[in-house]
A and B are shown apart, each in its own frame.
Chain A
Amino acid sequence: MIGASTIRKEGRAKVLGTAKYTDDLDLPGALHGVTVRTRCARGVLRGFTFLDGVPWDEITVATAADIPGRNIVASIHDDQPFLVEVGGTISHPEQAVVLLAHPDRQVAEKARGLVRLEVDELPAVLDIPASLACDPVIHGERNVLKEILITKGDADAAMARAARVFEGEYRTGAQEQLYLEPNAMIGTVEEGPAGREVTVSGSLQCPYYVHDALIQLFGLPAERVRVVALEMGGGFGGKEDFPSVIAGHAALLALKAGRPVKIAYDREEDMAATTKRHPSRTRVRTGFDAEGRLVAMDIDFVLDGGAFTTLSPVVLSRGAIHACGPYRCGDVRVLARAVATNTPPCGAFRGFGAPQSLFAIERHMDHCAREMGLDPVDLRRLNFLRKGDTMATGQVIKDDLDLAGLMDRAMEEIAFRDLQKAYRVRNAWDDPIKRGVGLSVFMHGCGFTGSGEAHMASVAGVEGREDGTVAVLAASTEMGQGKNTVFCQIVAETLGLPVDLVEMAEVDTRFVPNSGPTVASRSTMVVGKILEDAARGLRLALLQGGFLAEPYTPAQFRAAVAAARAKLGSLKAYGQFKANPEAAWDDKTYRGDAYPNYSWACYAAAVAVDLTTFEVKVEDFAAVQEVGRVVNPTLATGQIQGGVAQGIGWALWEDVTFREGRMVNNQLTNYIIPTAADLPHIRVAFLEAGNPFGPGGAKGIGELPMDGPAPAIANALREALGDLRLDEVPMTPERILQRLEEARHA
């Protein structure tokens, strides 16, 4: 079962068009909810008025004054309100102030334009430089949402001894997740026997995050709040924390209206108001010895967190831990800061901080190689981490790690050396099309950072059902990545059953335990492992209870389940996350095992750039990764190809433009993501190496493809354009032209 390309479990409903996404559900009597936003980057809310033009008596209105519990979206820090209160501070232009609902979508829409806000405006902070300059201070004492310092050895002393020292500054922009299904949520509030009960169902990655947010918003005990994850049209991190906000809004309106309320964002609102990838600025200083060995690294990593803390501390943490790339270095300092600005909060997006810092180090290594007159491939080979080496946090590499072999494999896949030779000859010709090949080598820590998993202590289970089949009980959600199928494969393998006897139970907090959020490539590796334990428990119970004897056939298993249920009433087995007793992590000093393990990869890109239009085309792309055991090769390949496409989009086209804190290109006409015609076929290869941690040896795969494309493409462009350095993402035609002009005038 593990290792087989089992067909996607919910695939049939998806190709038939019968799969129901949130906005496909038509609840009788439901109202449509809309959100009135601040439209001011920073200020104080003085009040609001309702102008004539709609029948206000038919419209449900909810404001901060209607909140029964706390006006705080539960997250890492309590700094984000659900709704701005009168007299309260406005921190970004998309903050919600008033919620409206009406049976007719159009009427609700019209009413939204008829709410006037009175605001005293204040000067705003709109980017990283302004925030670092404290011009003005908008958060705490110096606009810092979170700061992390990682040190190993003495970076200053080592730098002073280095034969050569190089510096670079690298920047990346915001990126919109652009899941194809915009955010949508349905809220219901009812009076139950014990009092008020709140139910929310919708498009969300992390049911228990939403659950927690609603418990606090309504001040209710956990058992009277219920969250159901519906079919989801993509998430990529964009439906990790933001759904708590919409869920709260829908439920508040439902409370006021006494009827279910659906809030479905349209594309423009979704793009403007929801979270994006953090923009970044990274300064890298490296020292090398005379042979080209890295002896010192000093990295200053800054993320733009937006107006509230939300997930920035953990995004920052991952970015900081990945900042040194896959290289060995004795003396390291990484200073990482997430700073506040008056834009909507940035959030989770595939890669979670690592793409930003890996872009910097992988661009930087190429730059250093060329400055030293070395081949970037050779410089990497000389400096790769190997078994027994320690990383920046002090984590020791325990696996047999062969990054040089991984790099060779990727180069072979794309015929790197042949292309390089041919391109170098042809680029000298008088032809406006210039070509280059480049690569990046990187890693991605699997699962939560540091002690995250131990704190979470996730639980998942399996249930023998009446018909003898098995249901998987987990709060992990399916957003296209294939979790439904992979979980069933893992359980089927453990039980020795065909995979069609195992099904996912509905993801409903009333019935499934908290297996943690669906993020960080943790589903297969972490939750999959817990499910393996749970399935073993179920089998053992059947064997020891005398219901089953080994070896057994699927029919005998089904009969045993039915018999056990008849006798015991119900038949469930659970597993819980067990921390590796040998892994140690200290949150205060950032020392220890940052992740249970890492997946490793080398990506190579061949690009062509047209010097008349400055457009870049990726002509070939190879993604080679070492991910432990591949549970489902077809699904894994598809997930990587999709991620690479997103990575190419970030590298070349996806350019979120903010004006006064608002995203101004919040439409698909002016925010450009790749189409089928813009991309090459993406070659994917997996190398499997043992990993005792995950189920059957599996590690995480889903985020790697976001980390590698941008630096590989930038390095390829450097080859194509001679000396020109492109150290900024996205590498749009305008930016390439600008760099060329600067180089010409330098």
Chain B
Amino acid sequence: MPETFRLDFTVNGQARSLDTHPMARLLDVLREGLGLTGTKEGCGEGECGACSVLLDGRVVNSCLIPAVQAQGAEVVTVEGLAAGGGLSPMQDAFLAHNAAQCGFCTPGMLIAAEDLVRRCPAPDKEQVREGLAGNLCRCTGYSKIVDAVQAVARKEGQP
């Protein structure tokens, strides 16, 4: 495997390109290579979900994804959620429901929540809990997060 390679991909709608090691973790490429520190590392082994990003529309743990796998892909991080200076509806609901306490799980949780609502527009409480089971939070006990996700789903689920 070559020492370094040129990674060309789209991050939060912008074409980006940088030299990196093919086996570098996507997490480090985002945080150190591009300065997108919104994505967090909680465990480095695919268990906590703090590093969740969207890779071609799928939620992945960026601590497990080698950079080479992002070649040509489209990545969305928490920094890409807010629209036009404001908050996305999900970010707004997290804020209003106190679903972000220490905030460390929040970027990954938001990515997972956005994806969940996209896949399942009107989830019941159980579906939200199952859908977010890959993202650990130690502060909230999840109740407020479930409330926030359901609030968004209700609003968007309505005609």
List chain A positions with a Cβ less than 8 A from chain B.
5, 7-8, 10-21, 23-24, 26, 177-182, 231-234, 236, 266-267, 479-482, 634-635, 637-646, 667-669, 673, 675-679, 681-682
Nearest CB on B from A312, distance (A): 24
Known A180-B50, A180-B105, A266-B44: A12·B95 in contact at CB below 8 Å: yes
A618 to B134 CA separation, bound complex (whole angstroms): 19
A481 to B45 CA separation, bound complex (whole angstroms): 27
Cβ proximity bits B118-130 to A, threshold 8 Å, 1 near / 0 not? 0000000100111
Inter-chain contacts of B128 with A (CB < 8 A): 676
Q: Contact between B98 and A481 (Cβ–Cβ < 8 Å)? A: no
Inter-chain contacts of A179 with B (CB < 8 A): 102, 104, 138
Q: Contact between A12 and B87 (Cβ–Cβ < 8 Å)? A: yes
Q: Contact between B136 and A16 (Cβ–Cβ < 8 Å)? A: no
Q: Contact between A17 and B101 (Cβ–Cβ < 8 Å)? A: no
Inter-chain contacts of A681 with B (CB < 8 A): 125, 143, 146
Q: Is B153 an interface residue (CB 8 A)?
A: no
Q: Contact between A634 and B137 (Cβ–Cβ < 8 Å)? A: no
Inter-chain contacts of B77 with A (CB < 8 A): 17
Q: Contact between A15 and B100 (Cβ–Cβ < 8 Å)? A: yes
Nearest CB on B from A388, distance (A): 36
Known A16-B82, A233-B103: A11·B95 in contact at CB below 8 Å: yes
Inter-chain contacts of A267 with B (CB < 8 A): 42-45, 48
A24 to B51 CA separation, bound complex (whole angstroms): 13
Q: Which residue of B lies closest to A231 (CB)?
A: B103
Cβ proximity bits B88-117 to A, threshold 8 Å, 1 near / 0 not? 000110111110111111110010000000
A23 to B128 CA separation, bound complex (whole angstroms): 30
Inter-chain contacts of B45 with A (CB < 8 A): 267, 667-669
Q: Is B14 an interface residue (CB 8 A)?
A: no
Of B77, B128, B143, chain A has the most CB atoms within 10 Å of the CB of: B143
Q: Is B59 an interface residue (CB 8 A)?
A: no
Inter-chain contacts of A20 with B (CB < 8 A): 37
Q: Contact between A643 and B130 (Cβ–Cβ < 8 Å)? A: no
Inter-chain contacts of B129 with A (CB < 8 A): 676-677, 679
Known A15-B100, A17-B107: A645·B47 in contact at CB below 8 Å: no
A267 to B51 CA separation, bound complex (whole angstroms): 13
Of B48, B100, B104, chain A has the most CB atoms within 10 Å of the CB of: B104
Q: Contact between A675 and B133 (Cβ–Cβ < 8 Å)? A: yes
Q: Contact between A638 and B44 (Cβ–Cβ < 8 Å)? A: no
Q: Contact between A482 and B102 (Cβ–Cβ < 8 Å)? A: no
Inter-chain contacts of A11 with B (CB < 8 A): 94-95, 98, 100, 103
4 further interface pairs, Cβ-Cβ under 8 Å (given A17-B78, A480-B103): A15-B103, A178-B138, A236-B138, A676-B129
Q: Contact between A634 and B98 (Cβ–Cβ < 8 Å)? A: yes
Inter-chain contacts of A266 with B (CB < 8 A): 41, 44
A500 to B49 CA separation, bound complex (whole angstroms): 33
Inter-chain contacts of A635 with B (CB < 8 A): 98
Q: Contact between B102 and A679 (Cβ–Cβ < 8 Å)? A: no
Interface residue count on the B side (C-beta < 8 Å): 56
Q: Is B140 an interface residue (CB 8 A)?
A: yes
Q: Is B79 an interface residue (CB 8 A)?
A: yes
Inter-chain contacts of B84 with A (CB < 8 A): none
Q: Which residue of A lies closest to B125 (CB)?
A: A681
Q: Contact between A676 and B132 (Cβ–Cβ < 8 Å)? A: yes
Q: Contact between A480 and B125 (Cβ–Cβ < 8 Å)? A: no
Known A14-B106, A480-B101: A181·B95 in contact at CB below 8 Å: no
A181 is contacted by which of B38, B40, B82 (Cβ under 8 Å)?
A: B40
Of B128, B134, B139, chain A has the most CB atoms within 10 Å of the CB of: B139
Nearest CB on B from A428, distance (A): 29
Q: Contact between B138 and A7 (Cβ–Cβ < 8 Å)? A: no
Inter-chain contacts of A23 with B (CB < 8 A): 41
Q: Contact between B42 and A15 (Cβ–Cβ < 8 Å)? A: no
B87 is contacted by which of A15, A232, A638, A682 (Cβ under 8 Å)?
A: A15
A5 to B132 CA separation, bound complex (whole angstroms): 26
A397 to B125 CA separation, bound complex (whole angstroms): 42
Q: Contact between B139 and A8 (Cβ–Cβ < 8 Å)? A: no
A17 to B88 CA separation, bound complex (whole angstroms): 12
A676 is contacted by which of B37, B43, B44, B133 (Cβ under 8 Å)?
A: B133
Inter-chain contacts of B159 with A (CB < 8 A): none
Inter-chain contacts of A14 with B (CB < 8 A): 100, 103, 106
B142 is contacted by which of A24, A231, A232, A676 (Cβ under 8 Å)?
A: A676
Q: Contact between B141 and A180 (Cβ–Cβ < 8 Å)? A: no
Of A181, A675, A677, chain B has the most CB atoms within 10 Å of the CB of: A675
List 9 A-B pairs, Cβ < 8 Å.
Answer: A5-B98, A13-B103, A233-B104, A641-B142, A642-B141, A668-B48, A676-B142, A677-B129, A681-B125
Inter-chain contacts of A643 with B (CB < 8 A): 141
Q: Which of B46-63 contact A (CB under 8 A)?
A: 47-48, 50
CB-CB nearest 9 A-B residue pairs: A17-B38, A480-B102, A233-B104, A14-B103, A641-B141, A17-B78, A645-B141, A480-B101, A668-B47
A671 to B64 CA separation, bound complex (whole angstroms): 19
Q: Contact between A673 and B100 (Cβ–Cβ < 8 Å)? A: no
A679 to B130 CA separation, bound complex (whole angstroms): 11
Q: Contact between B140 and A8 (Cβ–Cβ < 8 Å)? A: no
A232 to B102 CA separation, bound complex (whole angstroms): 7
Nearest CB on B from A71, distance (A): 32
Q: Which residue of B lies closest to A178 (CB)?
A: B138
Q: Which residue of A lies closest to B94 (CB)?
A: A15
A642 to B144 CA separation, bound complex (whole angstroms): 9
Q: Is B145 an interface residue (CB 8 A)?
A: yes
A7 to B37 CA separation, bound complex (whole angstroms): 24
Nearest CB on B from A487, distance (A): 16
Q: Contact between B48 and A180 (Cβ–Cβ < 8 Å)? A: yes
Inter-chain contacts of A676 with B (CB < 8 A): 128-130, 132-133, 135, 137, 142, 145-146
Q: Contact between B139 and A24 (Cβ–Cβ < 8 Å)? A: no
Q: Contact between B104 and A641 (Cβ–Cβ < 8 Å)? A: no
Q: Contact between B144 and A638 (Cβ–Cβ < 8 Å)? A: yes
Nearest CB on A from B155, distance (A): 17
A5 to B96 CA separation, bound complex (whole angstroms): 9
Q: Contact between A673 and B102 (Cβ–Cβ < 8 Å)? A: no
Q: Is B13 an interface residue (CB 8 A)?
A: no
Inter-chain contacts of A669 with B (CB < 8 A): 45, 47
A642 to B146 CA separation, bound complex (whole angstroms): 13
A225 to B128 CA separation, bound complex (whole angstroms): 48
Q: Which residue of B lies closest to A639 (CB)?
A: B101
Q: Contact between B141 and A682 (Cβ–Cβ < 8 Å)? A: yes
Q: Which residue of B lies closest to A177 (CB)?
A: B138
Inter-chain contacts of B2 with A (CB < 8 A): none
Q: Contact between B103 and A667 (Cβ–Cβ < 8 Å)? A: no
Inter-chain contacts of B98 with A (CB < 8 A): 5, 7-8, 11, 482, 634-635, 637-638
Inter-chain contacts of A5 with B (CB < 8 A): 98
A233 to B95 CA separation, bound complex (whole angstroms): 16
Inter-chain contacts of A682 with B (CB < 8 A): 141, 143
Known A267-B44, A642-B140: A16·B37 in contact at CB below 8 Å: no
Q: Contact between A180 and B136 (Cβ–Cβ < 8 Å)? A: yes
Inter-chain contacts of B101 with A (CB < 8 A): 8, 234, 480-482, 638-639, 642
Inter-chain contacts of A642 with B (CB < 8 A): 101, 137-141
A704 to B140 CA separation, bound complex (whole angstroms): 15
Q: Contact between A17 and B136 (Cβ–Cβ < 8 Å)? A: no
Inter-chain contacts of B139 with A (CB < 8 A): 180, 234, 480, 638, 642
Inter-chain contacts of B31 with A (CB < 8 A): 24
Q: Which residue of B lies closest to A668 (CB)?
A: B47
Nearest CB on A from B28, distance (A): 9
Nearest CB on A from B125, distance (A): 7
Inter-chain contacts of A178 with B (CB < 8 A): 138
Inter-chain contacts of B146 with A (CB < 8 A): 676, 681
Inter-chain contacts of B96 with A (CB < 8 A): 7
A21 to B81 CA separation, bound complex (whole angstroms): 20
Q: Contact between A673 and B143 (Cβ–Cβ < 8 Å)? A: no
A679 is contacted by which of B38, B39, B78, B142 (Cβ under 8 Å)?
A: B142
Nearest CB on B from A742, distance (A): 33
